[in-house]
Amino acid sequence: MKSISNNIEIQKSDKTYNISMFIGIVFSLLTTILCEMFFNSIDLGPKNIDFISRVTVVFLTIFSIYGFYVRSSIKKDLKIKNFITIFMVLFLSIIVLKFFQFLTDALINEIQSSDYGFKLTSTELTLAFPMATGALLIQSVMNTRMAAMFVFIWSAIIGFYFVDTIFLFLFTISSSLVAVSSVVKVRSRGVYLRAGLNIALLSIPFSLIILLSSESFVYIDFLICIFSGLLGGLFCYLIASGLTPILEHLGNYVTDMRLIEIATLDHPLLNELSIQASGTWNHSMVMGMMGEMASDLVGANPVLVRTGAYFHDIGKIKKTMYFIENQQGEDNPHDKLTPSMSALIIKSHVKEGVEMAQKYKLPSLVIDMIKEHHGTSLIEYFYNKALNDQKDNAEEVDELLYRYPGPKPQSKEAGILMLADCIEASVRALPEHTKDNIQVLVKKMINKIFAAGQLDECDLTLNDLYKIAGSFVKTLTGIYHQRIAYVDNKESNVNTILK
């Protein structure tokens, strides 16, 4: 059985690879045509060897960089929309470059024709070109792998068409890589400012290279280079921060910034959850803290886990009192229902949550977290109750009625969310929140979920589970220690007042 499924997997990955290679041919061809249109006039004369050889070299260079990245990329990167976005960003980068070339040519002519007392060279002004903008955009909406692919294709194009000036090629590749490494985690628009500043700083060694290689060293030239570098950083910052939301919207990309924007009480769903179901909201916030801390240790996205935690139980808004965390000592409505009816109501919070999330157009990544947070797990309490009620006919109890429909968690983030969900609820029910009690319970719950096969389809390894357990214990111990300290403090204050 295993070898058959392995064969299917290999066939599937071969198919994905073939499709990706076909996309690569189209992508490389279109990019080559684009470059020829803007950097060289197309001449289709039959004996024009120059054109044929140029196009062949450009095509093969782009295609080989593409092929290398397809081979080393993960499947989720290889989406047609990603290559359309990269093509559009390349197109935009070429337009911006042409525009800045036009501006600098006009400026140089103006300075030359009038007597301002100094001269400008195109190399000095090159530092003001926002060559790293495209890399910043791709890094913001995709990831470092795809941004690196963009950087190498873009730099190869510059190196090939601006063969007279190696300087522009070096500046493009280094400023783009600096930009990408400055925005590894895009948690606020401020990161673009940091990237812009880093690009401006990079222009200092480039300014020195220009000065040392020029025959007539003039002090003002150095100032012009530094000023150009500052402008280049500023342009990168302005263009990238302005265009990222447009790219997010057009390509339906979910950036960390978008997640941060929706994961606040300003969002109507979270606002309603916090008012209608304060117990669930409290549970979601604690889960958010647990998930965020653990994600960093296992290479998952902490912002996605926190946002998923806040929204995972929004489906409970419709029937808040059927969930234990909102009952607060009041009558339990499940007492009047059969176990199967109770299970149906409990299960429905996932479906209703997904519908509400779709209605409010939450990102698909967050909707997946809602769908997957219970996997296909069993609602044990009501299943056992049903078995008890049907002692003599236990085989008549249909287990499927008491199972969530799934799917099981498909990503590290959804796996962490499932663990945090079960563990937070269990730890809350502990009579005493000592570190030992929490530690034992966390370990027991993780083992149970793992043994039930709920983590089979996500990428969490045993080592990840070990790290997650440690992090959960640390977070939960911290939370309950603070609560105990707060209650102790409050009681001693009350006693002081009474005395």
Structure tokens at 2: 């295993």
The verdict on 421 binding Fe ion (CB under 5 A) reads yes
**Which window, 85-93, 125-133, 325-333, 418-426, contacts Fe ion (CB under 5 A)?**
418-426
Q: Which is nearer to Fe ion, 89 or 420 (CB)?
A: 420
Count of residues that interact with Fe ion, criterion CB under 5 A: 2
| Least distance CB 331 / Fe ion (angstroms) | 22
Q: Three-state DSSP class for 327?
A: coil
Tell me which residue of 131, 133, 125 sits closest to 226, measured CA to CA: 125
| Least distance CB 349 / Fe ion (angstroms) | 6
- Contact at 8 Å (CB) between 251 and 141? yes
Q: Which is nearer to Fe ion, 313 or 464 (CB)?
A: 313
**Taking phi first (over 0 means left), then psi (-120 to 50 degrees means alpha), and beta for anything else, what does residue 329 get?**
left
Quote the CA–CA distance of 59 and 445 in Å, as a whole number.
54
Q: Which is nearer to Fe ion, 172 or 284 (CB)?
A: 284
Site mask for Fe ion (CB under 5 A), range 307-346, x = bound: ------x---------------------------------
Half-sphere exposure of 422 (CA within 13 A, CB side): 24
| Least distance CB 417 / Fe ion (angstroms) | 9
The verdict on 372 binding Fe ion (CB under 5 A) reads no
| Least distance CB 312 / Fe ion (angstroms) | 6
Q: Give the N- to C-terminal CA distance of the chain in Å, as an integer.
A: 76
Q: Which is nearer to Fe ion, 3 or 328 (CB)?
A: 328
**Which window, 8-16, 144-152, 392-400, 416-424, contacts Fe ion (CB under 5 A)?**
416-424
Cis previous bond, 339, omega within 30: no
Q: Three-state DSSP class for 403?
A: strand
Residues 252-311 that bind Fe ion (CB under 5 A): none
| Least distance CB 356 / Fe ion (angstroms) | 13
β-bridge partners, 378: 403
Quote the CA–CA distance of 497 and 436 in Å, as a whole number.
35
Q: Which is nearer to Fe ion, 67 or 279 (CB)?
A: 279
| Least distance CB 445 / Fe ion (angstroms) | 13
Q: Which is nearer to Fe ion, 180 or 370 (CB)?
A: 370
Strands (E), 169-209: none
B/e letters for 132-145, b = 16+ CB within 10 Å, e = fewer, are: bbbbbbbbbbbbee
| Least distance CB 315 / Fe ion (angstroms) | 7
Q: Which is nearer to Fe ion, 124 or 421 (CB)?
A: 421
- With vertex at residue 498, the alpha carbon angle to CA 492 and CA 499, rounded to the nearest 5 degrees, is 90
- Footprint of Fe ion (CB under 5 A): 313, 421
